[in-house]
Amino acid sequence: MIVYEFKIKGKKHQYQAIDEAIKTGQFVRNKCLRYWIDGQKVSRAELYRYNTTLRSEYPFVKDLNSHACQASVERCWSSIARFFDNCKKQIPGKKGYPRFKKNARSVEYKTSGWKLLDPKHIEFTDKKGIGKLKLIGTWDLAFYSEDKIKRVRLVRRADGYYCQFCISVDVKDELSPTHQTIGLDVGLKEFYTDSMGRTEPNPRFYRQGEERLKFYQRRVSRKKKGSINRKKAINKLGRKHLKISRQREEHAKRLARCVIQSNDLVAYEDLRIKNLVKNHCLAKSINDAGWYQFRKWLEYFGAKMNRVTVAVSPAYTSQNCSNCGAVVKKSLSTRTHICACGCQLDRDKNAAINILNRALGTTGHVGTWILDPNASGDLSSTIAGSPCDSKIGL
């Protein structure tokens, strides 16, 4: 699956109709969630039947395309299924009990309720009154037949409205082997250090834009609640946050593509970001680094370009000596690894070599693997699925 995204150009009443469709989708999802909470062992099929009841009871729900209502039910069931899956796996901490949506930003159509007039125009045919919209973007939808488009999603962001097309195609790039392997150790001082000693600087996009964010946040706090000026100030603050998130995502995408193209095997740490950010002294810097986005794109390009990506346990990668394997205790402030065997390396380079050494046992397997050093060489995870569903325009 790939997702192409276009910006939408329409009139004010069309944007209002999109907002109404988004609110209706949120209403259906929340009503289904309430029905599941109040009921006993409510199944997915029963939620679909309850959706039919909602369409007969509420006229504004019936105005929304039936497949869009079904997509809202599927979103509800997805959160329920994820909660049950986390309970079965007995993951530590919170299990992610489903919550009610307060401010949804998208509505999703399936194969009906819309019609592609030409590669640059789309028309929504339900009774919400969205009508014909112009698509602004460089992707060529004419290259794919309409039956390949499985989902169409309308998204509201701080800088406007967007339309996403989920297309059922397999994207593969055949590259010649480079006969190179690499281990990556991500950090806060440098974005990553590889096993060859090369480093990539940490851009710190949030830190750079923090002064302007504080300025816009002060403007929001000074406006009267519920006023038009407050909404305008909130929109400007949202645009700044959106810019920073896009910078971080593009940076991670660019680096991941270059790393995958240059190496046959890429090893990295299987970090639990949710646990790392519990350290309130480093939480802002960890979130600003964007390690999760980088890993996500590594796995995506690895699947797309038929490269091997391996996630290894991060335990003792910084403490163990990459030369002799001895444990050398050091604090975060100690940036040089010095071992009694005579090995003296940068701390991050030593960790990157350890990460690569742990991953080399899976050489020859294509896919994304998680290697547990405590499992006597066995693979503790199967090949991860292709994350193409959530990627824009690749």
Average pLDDT over residues 278-282: 87
Sign of the C-alpha dihedral, residues 111, 112, 118, 124?
negative
Q: To 10 degrees, the CA torsion angle through 218, 222, 227, 229?
A: -60
In this structure, is residue 252 part of a structural domain? no
Indicate if the pLDDT at residue 19 is higher than 80. yes
In this structure, is residue 211 part of a structural domain? no
Tens-place pLDDT, residues 89-110: 888 788 889 999 999 999 999 9
Are 159 and 185 within one domain? Answer: no
- Planar angle of CA 138, 256, 299, nearest 5 degrees: 95
Are 10 and 110 within one domain? Answer: yes
Cα–Cα distance between 105 and 242 in angstroms, integer? 14
Indicate if the pLDDT at residue 383 is higher than 50. no
Q: What is the length of the chain?
A: 394
Are 277 and 138 within one domain? Answer: no
User: 274 lies in which domain range?
Assistant: 181-201+262-390
Sheet hosting strand 368-371, strand order edge to edge = 199-201, 190-194, 181-186, 265-269, 308-312, 368-371
Structural domains in the chain (count): 2
Are 195 and 99 within one domain? Answer: no
User: Tell me, what's the pLDDT at 308?
Assistant: 87
Instruction: Average the pLDDT over each of 107-116, 282-291, 305-314, 333-342 and give the range with the smallest value.
Output: 333-342
Cα–Cα distance between 272 and 270 in angstroms, integer? 7
| Of 142, 97, 139, 98, the residue nearest 118 (C-alpha) | 142
Indicate if the pLDDT at residue 375 is higher than 70. no
User: Tell me, what's the pLDDT at 76?
Assistant: 93
Contact 200, 190 (CB under 8 A): yes
Percent of the chain's residues with pLDDT above 90: 47
Tens-place pLDDT, residues 327-342: 888 788 888 888 878 7
Instruction: Average the pLDDT over each of 31-40, 191-200, 241-250, 331-340 and give the range with the smallest value.
Output: 331-340
In this structure, is residue 154 part of a structural domain? yes
Are 158 and 197 within one domain? Answer: no
User: Tell me, what's the pLDDT at 387?
Assistant: 37
User: Tell me, what's the pLDDT at 362?
Assistant: 61
Tens-place pLDDT, residues 146-166: 888 999 999 999 999 999 999
In this structure, is residue 207 part of a structural domain? no
Are 289 and 366 within one domain? Answer: yes
Cα–Cα distance between 392 and 5 in angstroms, integer? 6
In this structure, is residue 210 part of a structural domain? no
**Beta carbons within 8 Å of 87's beta carbon, 6+ residues apart:** 95
In this structure, is residue 127 part of a structural domain? yes
Are 74 and 152 within one domain? Answer: yes
Are 163 and 39 within one domain? Answer: yes
In this structure, is residue 52 part of a structural domain? yes
In this structure, is residue 251 part of a structural domain? no
Contact 312, 270 (CB under 8 A): yes
Indicate if the pLDDT at residue 343 is higher than 60. yes
Are 158 and 47 within one domain? Answer: yes
- Strand 265-269 relative to strand 308-312: parallel, antiparallel, unpaired? parallel
Residue 276, classed as helix, strand or coil, is helix
Average pLDDT over residues 43-67: 92
Are 36 and 158 within one domain? Answer: yes
Average pLDDT over residues 211-230: 93
Instruction: Average the pLDDT over each of 10-24, 208-222, 369-383 and give the range with the smallest value.
Output: 369-383
Confidence of residue 361 (pLDDT cuts 50, 70, 90): low
Are 162 and 187 within one domain? Answer: no
